[in-house]
Amino acid sequence: MSSSETTTDHRKIRKWAEDRKGRPAAVRTGGKGGVLRIDFGEKEEEFDEIGWDEFFRIFDKNKLAFLYQDETKDGKTSRFNKFVERD
């Protein structure tokens, strides 16, 4: 069975993303910051690649937490992730 975890630890989030060849990105919404994403593989056209400093500035300002899964239920590396409100 697969399970998910939630964290706000910047080092853990960055390591999880980089282990999967993910890059920090934002979808610009017209206001300051944007909607955060981890971009995998070929660059998505609607995503603006940003640095980790900007990524975590937006992450903390919006009081987000990172919900993620390490492995799928069949034991493969998972890229499932989602940004949620902190409790």
The H or E element spanning position 56 is helix 52-61
DSSP state of 76: P
Encode pLDDT of 7-51 as tens digits. Answer: 999 999 999 999 999 999 998 776 665 689 999 977 777 888 999
Residues 64 and 84: beta-carbon distance below 8 Å: yes
Q: How confident is the model at residue 1 (pLDDT cuts 50, 70, 90)?
A: low
How far the first Cα of the chain sits from its last, in Å, is 25
Structure tokens at 86: 């902190």
Residues 51 and 36: beta-carbon distance below 8 Å: no
Give pTM, 2 decimals. Answer: 0.86
Q: State the average pLDDT over residues 55-70.
A: 96
